[in-house]
């Protein structure tokens, strides 16, 4: 256990708050913080296989961030602030609608008469469950559309039943410009995702290749496996939690265990895919990231114009655990209604994800997984309510 456990972490300053008496004679531990990474060197398609000095610098920062935290801030990604603001404003406008309007695009179970696919659509507050507990948020999910969707709809001849994940996206009528703005946003954020996984490939190649390995990492491996990314975009609304704060604690377990199921905005989890690009409104103190020590929760407060980026379970599998997908959670006790729009930049549905040979050797461990397609992994998640 920590002898000093009452720290408040904020991202810009990371200042541990101690009372004056305790400050005296105390050697301050180094304060953890999430790194800030400029992705601009990787926004251009490489013309040859050598990296520029600025790419090498960014790649090293990515390797360090993914090894240490699995989380970082991403700047210089090319999406204007005005566009990010528009996406968040539209989310806020949608969630402010009467429930009956939001229910018009409800998510339904796959195979049922409503034509749901168990994945796309709106979930009201408390419908989403994480780790067996109801999450106090509402959300709409959109996925990459299938290329053959028009043919399938014709063949369906009005039966309106659907296999898991095989439906089409549900867009609200109001706000009327939401669909157009969000579809444009998807195109832009896909480019950011590509730049990030290109940088991650470079980071891995630079850190692993030539280090007692006869295998090398192809730095384009993630770009190739995500060129038809089966992405998910989730628009989330969080009402302020009404219940009182749990006993102040830096212990992950005691904090979680003392909460009833009504008290989590989004329960502790890792993301199940490749790379998450999180856009969130400025509400501080809501998103918390579990530090490597396994007990300290760090506030990942938004930095204006930056994405909070984290790696998911598929990246951990690819790297055979060299990079960890980190636990995080949302506890929104701040002011007002919080909105966030995470974009999950995922592998292609049929991409086979298994530990890269060079990473297996570097890790000195047996492969952590025998390999499966991303689609199989995702279907397992959908069928088990994303456990």
Ligand X SMILES: O=C(O)CCC(=O)C(=O)O
The residue ranges that bind ligand X (CB under 6 A) are: 234, 236, 266, 271, 278, 280, 287, 328, 330, 340, 342
- The C-alpha atoms of residue 118 and residue 231 are separated, in whole angstroms, by 16
Give which of Fe ion, ligand X, none residue 233 binds (C-beta under 5 to 8 Å, depending on kind).
Answer: none
- Which entry of ligand X, Fe ion, none binds 340, CB below 5 to 8 A by partner kind? ligand X
Helix (H) or strand (E) holding 194: helix 178-208
Quick one: how far is CA 93 from the chain centroid?
23
What phi, psi does 195 have (nearest 5°)? -60, -40
C-alpha to C-alpha distance for 87 and 309, rounded to whole angstroms: 17
SS3 137: coil
* Alpha-carbon gap, residue 139 to 118, rounded angstroms: 14
Residue closer to Fe ion by CB (options 327, 362) is 327
Minimum Å gap between C-beta 339 and ligand X is: 8
CB of 141 or CB of 271, closer to Fe ion: 271
Closer Cβ to Fe ion, 271 or 316, answer by number: 271
Cα(81)–Cα(83) distance, rounded to whole angstroms?
5
CB closest to ligand X, residue no: 340
For Fe ion, the binding residues (CB under 5 A) are: 271
d(Cα 387, Cα 130) in Å, to the nearest integer?
Answer: 7
Distance, in Å, from the CA atom of 160 to the CA atom of 166, rounded to the nearest integer, reads 11
- Work out how close the CB of 330 gets to Fe ion at its nearest, in angstroms, rounded to a whole number: 8
Q: Which CB sits closer to Fe ion, 138 or 271?
A: 271
Query: How many degrees, rounded to 5, is the angle at CA 123 between CA 119 and CA 129?
Result: 80
Residue 287 vs 356, nearer CB to ligand X: 287
Residue 134's alpha-carbon distances to 241, 312, 327, in angstroms, are 13, 22, 17
Nearest distance in Å: CB 269, Fe ion = 6
With respect to ligand X, which residue has the nearer C-beta, 343 or 349?
343
Least Å distance between CB 287 and ligand X? 4
Q: Give the nearest residue (CB) to Fe ion.
A: 271
Give which of ligand X, Fe ion, none residue 277 binds (C-beta under 5 to 8 Å, depending on kind): none
Give dist(CA 92, CA 239) in Å, integer.
Answer: 11
**Residue showing tokens 């790379």:** 275
Residue 341: CB minimum distance to ligand X, A: 8
Q: Does residue 240 have a cis bond before it (omega within 30 degrees)?
A: no
Give the nearest distance from C-beta 129 to Fe ion in angstroms. Answer: 14
Partner whose binding site includes residue 347, from Fe ion, ligand X, none (CB under 5 to 8 Å by kind): none
Cα separation, 200 vs 314, whole angstroms: 13
Least spacing, CB of residue 323 vs ligand X, in Å: 17
Smallest gap from residue 253 Cβ to Fe ion (A): 19
Give which of ligand X, Fe ion, none residue 133 binds (C-beta under 5 to 8 Å, depending on kind).
none
Q: Which is nearer to ligand X, 33 or 299 (CB)?
A: 299
Contact 4, 26 (CB under 8 A): yes
Q: List the one residue out of 285, 297, 270 whose CA is nearest residue 240.
A: 285
Residue with Cβ nearer ligand X (328 or 362) = 328
Residue 119's binding partner, choosing from Fe ion, ligand X, none, with beta-carbon cut-off 5 to 8 A by kind? none
């Amino acid at each position: 256990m920590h002898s000093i456990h009452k720290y408040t972490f904020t991202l810009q300053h990371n200042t541990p708050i101690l009372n004056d008496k305790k400050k005296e004679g105390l050697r301050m531990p180094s304060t953890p913080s999430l790194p800030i990474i400029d992705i601009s060197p990787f926004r251009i398609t490489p013309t040859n296989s050598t990296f520029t000095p600025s790419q090498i610098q960014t790649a090293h920062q990515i390797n360090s961030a993914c090894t240490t935290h699995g989380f970082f801030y991403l700047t210089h990604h090319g999406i204007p602030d005005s566009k990010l603001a528009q996406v968040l404003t539209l989310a806020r406008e949608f969630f402010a609608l009467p429930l009956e309007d939001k229910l018009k695009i409800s998510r339904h179970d796959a195979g049922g008469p409503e034509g749901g696919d168990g994945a796309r659509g709106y979930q009201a507050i408390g419908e989403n469950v994480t780790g067996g507990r109801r999450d106090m948020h509402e959300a709409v999910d959109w996925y990459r559309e299938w290329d053959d969707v028009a043919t399938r709809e014709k063949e369906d001849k009005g039966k309106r039943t659907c296999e898991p994940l095989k439906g089409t996206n549900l867009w609200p009528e109001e706000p009327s410009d939401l669909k157009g703005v969000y579809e444009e946003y998807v195109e832009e954020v896909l480019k950011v995702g590509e730049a990030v996984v290109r940088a991650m490939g470079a980071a891995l190649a630079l850190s692993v290749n030539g280090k007692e390995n006869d295998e090398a990492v192809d730095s384009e491996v993630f770009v190739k496996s995500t060129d038809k990314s089966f992405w998910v975009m989730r628009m989330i609304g969080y009402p302020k939690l009404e219940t009182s704060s749990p006993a102040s604690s830096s212990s992950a377990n005691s904090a979680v265990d003392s909460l009833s199921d009504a008290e989590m905005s989004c329960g502790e989890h890792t993301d199940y895919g490749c790379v998450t690009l999180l856009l969130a409104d400025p509400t501080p103190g809501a998103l918390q990231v579990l530090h490597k020590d396994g007990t300290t929760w760090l506030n990942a407060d938004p930095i204006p114009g930056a994405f909070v980026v984290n790696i998911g379970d598929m990246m951990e599998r690819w790297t055979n655990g060299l990079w960890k997908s980190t636990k995080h959670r949302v506890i929104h006790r701040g002011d007002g209604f919080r909105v966030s729009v995470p974009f999950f930049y995922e592998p292609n549905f049929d991409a086979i994800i298994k530990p890269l040979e060079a990473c297996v050797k570097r890790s000195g461990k047996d492969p952590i997984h025998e390999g499966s397609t991303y689609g199989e992994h995702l279907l397992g998640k959908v069928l088990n309510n994303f456990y």
